[in-house]
Each structure stands twice: as C-alpha cells, then as structure tokens.
C-alpha cells in the first residue's frame, strides 16, 4: 500500500481545514497582544519611561510570535493553493498595507531610542501604533468580506479574475468586523500589559482601556452576529458533494441564500456553538479579570475570546473557504480547492514533526522570559534592549 493512502483524501482535507483554523487562531492569540500593546502605546504610556516599559514587555517575544503568521500563510499556500491565489490577488493592496505595518514595527523598535529627542521618539511611538492598528483592522475587514463573498470568478481553465477593488472591501459590515478585531486585540494587549508590568500607572491605564475594549468586543461582536443573521446573506451548495473528488470548484453548483444561512452549521452541529460562546464568555471573563486585577485569568480569558471569535468565522462558513459574490459556483470550499492527496499527506507529516518543536521552543522562551518588566531597571538603562 502507498503510504499516503493510509489517510483518505476526505479526512486529509478536513484535517487541514482544522489545522489552518488553529494556526490562524494561534497567530491571533500570540501576535495579537503585541499588536494590542502597540495600539495602547501612546495612551497607556504617558512619558518615555512608561512607553519603554510597554515596548520592553513585547520586545523579546513579538518576532517569534510572527512564526504563526508565516506558518499559516505557508500552510494556505501548500494546502489550499487556489485560496492563496484568490486571497493574495484580490486583497493585494490590503495585504500590502498589512505588510507595511509589520515591516515598520521592527524599524520602530530599533530606531526609536537611537536619539534622545522627545519628538523623534513620539513619531516612532505613533508608527508602532500604526503598525498595530492597521493589521488588526484589515485582518478583521478581510474576514468580514469573506463572510459576505468576494467578487472573483474562475475561467474554465482555472484562471482567476478579481472584479473588486480595495475601497470595495471597506464596506460597512467589513469595517464592523475590523472594529471587532481592533477591540479584541486592544483587550488582549491590555491583559498582557497587566500581566507584564508592575502595578503602576501603565497597568492602571491598560486596565481602563482594556475594560472599554472588552465591552466593545462584546457589543460589536454581538452586532456583527445580528447583522449576519438579519442582513448578510450566506451560501449553500445545491449539488451533490464529492468530499474526495477532484480539486475543481466549477464542478459544483452553489446559490446565494438569504441572511441567516451562515447559522445553519450551528443548528446542524451544535458543538460548533463553542466558538461564538467562547468569544463572548472570554471577553466577559477578561472584563471581570481586568476589574479584579486577576492577571493570568484575564490573559487566558482574552486568549479564549480571540480564539473563539476567529474560529467562529470558519465554523459559520464550513465547508466554504471563500465564496464568490459574482459567481457562486466558483466559490472555494474544503472539498474542491485543496492540493493533491499526496501533498496534503506530506505536509501533515511535516506538521506533526515540526509544530510540536515550535510549540516546545516557544513555551521555553516564555518560561525564561517570565516576570514583569522592571521600570527602575529601564530608568537605570540596565539589561533592556529598547
């Protein structure tokens, strides 16, 4: 027997759908508090020392956290090449804006303290704010547009045509989802700052802003759900589904349905309700943790909320990965847009070997760096890189 036939094609596609969700949720949880802390920098830190406290709380770990973004992007490229092609062509300018923010972040970290000039440092502080706000906003906008459907079509030879524009992505529902993303990451960043800074002005302001962000997360996420139920239409496959069939999206038929179609998975598979419940419950727990100053509890709850909100998008859309708003038949699904059976199996073997290594190393790094940032040490310029 050929080795890759030990796992059937249908199961591999389902496994990779779940893995992509876990990788994206892992990125949102780990790099999310970095982005949130960056957005809080000009507000939670009022002077240079306080802002350096915030920077040094994320400085040693932010770069390693981006490994999950690289893994997620690489996994999409290898496992779902059509999804990668459509997303990176249709969202090209949006991706450039995200990359601009992520590229400017290390530049700001390195250059901020090169000159002892308050105006120089203030400019780089706002660059760090920008590098946190823009990716957080656009990631949310992208998910909001995926729920609505993206204006692309496929030619019979599988050539991709995208008929939308960058400004078209900035529609009301997309911006609402962007607001959910910004609010939840500010909440997550606040939880991190409460954990990593001493009980002083920075932690107090972080708790105050984080409490507002947690409330906004609950309200905006709930509002997005209401609109998804009452206004934003979903999609359904109307032909027979060949879960182990060829990767050709044009072999099926799909029709756009009225609002509320994305909630059918929750009715059919009740366990999927765990994702939105975690989104709400985690945000509520983070709010309580911030008010009660329960540091680890708050961070765990905010991480639960972030994971739940991200995973709820995939749970709602399954088996769709990216529906087409202008040609629903061309919509990409788990069952018809993946790589070959052999490719998915090889990638799974690689993942099983290397992801535990990455998790173990990351856990060791956080263990070594555990503890609070010492404000006095920063004042004395001892042992801090930023």
Residues β-bridged to residue 153: 161
Q: Is 118 exposed, middle or buried (0-12, 13-18, 19+ CB in 10 A)?
A: exposed
Is there a domain that residue 386 lies in? no
pLDDT above 70: residue 354: yes
Place 4 in a pLDDT band, splitting at 50, 70 and 90. low
Place 380 in a pLDDT band, splitting at 50, 70 and 90. confident
Is there a domain that residue 381 lies in? no
Q: Which residues contact 48 (CB under 8 A, 6 or more apart)?
A: 118, 121
Is there a domain that residue 375 lies in? no
Provide the pLDDT for residue 259. 80
**CB 232 within 8 Å of CB 262:** yes
Is there a domain that residue 379 lies in? no
- How confident is the model over 58-73, as a mean pLDDT? 88
* Alpha carbon of residue 180 to chain centroid: 11
pLDDT above 70: residue 138: yes
Q: Is 47 exposed, middle or buried (0-12, 13-18, 19+ CB in 10 A)?
A: exposed
d(CA 166, CA 324): 16
DSSP state of 247: S
**CB 254 within 8 Å of CB 261:** no
Provide the pLDDT for residue 200. 85
Mean pLDDT of the chain: 90
| pTM across the whole model | 0.93
103 vs 259, higher pLDDT: 103
- How confident is the model over 63-83, as a mean pLDDT? 89
Give the Cβ contact number of residue 264 at 10 Å. 14
pLDDT (tens digit, 9 = 90+) per residue, 85-133? 988 888 888 889 999 998 999 999 889 888 888 899 999 999 999 999 9
Domain of residue 265, residue span: 3-369
pLDDT above 60: residue 384: no
pLDDT (tens digit, 9 = 90+) per residue, 215-249? 999 999 999 999 999 888 889 988 888 888 888 99
d(CA 119, CA 108): 14
**How far, in Å, are 46, 118, 377 from residue 53 at the CA level?**
11, 16, 10
Is there a domain that residue 382 lies in? no
Provide the pLDDT for residue 1. 46
CATH code of the domain containing 192: 1.20.1630.10
**CB 34 within 8 Å of CB 62:** yes
**CB 298 within 8 Å of CB 272:** no
Is there a domain that residue 239 lies in? yes
% helix, strand, coil for the chain, step of 5:
75, 5, 20
Residue 169 corresponds to which tokens in the numbers above?
Answer: 């992505």
Q: What is the DSSP string of 325-367?
A: SS-GGG-EETTTS---HHHHHHHHHHHHHHHHHHHHHHHHHHH
d(CA 158, CA 164): 18
- How confident is the model over 279-300, as a mean pLDDT? 96
Is there a domain that residue 282 lies in? yes
The enclosing H or E element of 117 equals none
Say how many domains are in the chain.
Answer: 1
pLDDT above 70: residue 3: no
**CB 77 within 8 Å of CB 84:** yes
Is there a domain that residue 383 lies in? no
Q: What is the 3-state secondary structure (H, E, C) of 252-313?
A: CCEEEEEECHHHHHHHHCHHHHHHHHHHHHHHHHHHHHHHHCCHHHHHHHHHHHHHHHHHHH
pLDDT above 90: residue 32: yes
Provide the pLDDT for residue 385. 61
Provide the pLDDT for residue 117. 87
Provide the pLDDT for residue 144. 94
C-alpha torsion angle, residues 137, 139, 141, 144 (rounded to 10): -140
pLDDT above 90: residue 182: yes
**CB 266 within 8 Å of CB 317:** no
Q: Is 113 exposed, middle or buried (0-12, 13-18, 19+ CB in 10 A)?
A: middle
Give the Cβ contact number of residue 1 at 10 Å. 5
């Amino acid at each position: 027997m050929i080795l890759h036939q030990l796992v059937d094609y249908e199961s591999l596609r389902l496994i990779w759908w779940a893995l992509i969700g876990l990788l994206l949720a892992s990125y949102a949880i780990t790099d999310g508090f970095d982005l949130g802390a960056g957005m809080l920098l000009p507000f939670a830190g009022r002077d240079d020392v306080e802002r350096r406290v915030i920077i040094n709380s994320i400085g040693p770990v932010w770069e390693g956290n981006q490994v999950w973004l690289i893994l997620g992007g690489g996994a999409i490229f290898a496992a779902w090449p059509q999804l990668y092609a459509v997303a990176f062509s249709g969202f090209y300018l949006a991706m450039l804006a995200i990359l601009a923010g992520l590229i400017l972040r290390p530049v700001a970290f390195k250059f901020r303290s090169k000159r002892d000039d308050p105006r120089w440092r203030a400019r780089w502080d706002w660059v760090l704010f920008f590098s946190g706000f823009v990716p957080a906003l656009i990631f949310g906008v992208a998910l909001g547009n995926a729920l609505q459907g993206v204006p692309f079509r496929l030619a019979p030879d599988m050539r991709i045509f995208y008929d939308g524009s960058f400004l078209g992505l900035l529609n009301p529902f997309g911006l609402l989802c962007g607001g959910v993303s910004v609010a939840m990451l500010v909440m997550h960043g606040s939880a991190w700052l409460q954990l990593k800074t001493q009980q002083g002005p920075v932690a107090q302001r972080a708790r105050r802003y984080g409490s507002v962000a947690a409330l906004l997360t609950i309200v905006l996420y709930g509002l997005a759900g209401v609109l998804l139920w009452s206004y934003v239409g979903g999609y359904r496959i109307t032909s027979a589904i060949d879960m182990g069939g060829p990767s050709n999206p044009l072999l099926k038929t799909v029709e756009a349905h009225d609002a509320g179609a994305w909630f059918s998975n929750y009715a059919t598979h009740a366990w999927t309700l765990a994702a939105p419940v975690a989104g709400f419950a985690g945000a509520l727990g983070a709010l309580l943790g911030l008010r009660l100053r329960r540091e680890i509890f708050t961070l765990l709850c905010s991480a639960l909320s972030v994971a739940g909100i991200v995973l709820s998008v995939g749970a709602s859309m399954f088996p769709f990965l990216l529906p087409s708003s202008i040609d629903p038949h061309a919509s990409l699904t788990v069952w018809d847009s993946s790589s070959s059976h052999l490719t998915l199996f090889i990638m799974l073997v690689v993942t099983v070997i290397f992801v535990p290594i990455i998790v173990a190393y990351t856990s060791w790094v956080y263990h070594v760096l555990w503890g609070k940032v010492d404000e006095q040490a920063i004042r004395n310029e001892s042992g801090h890189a930023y």
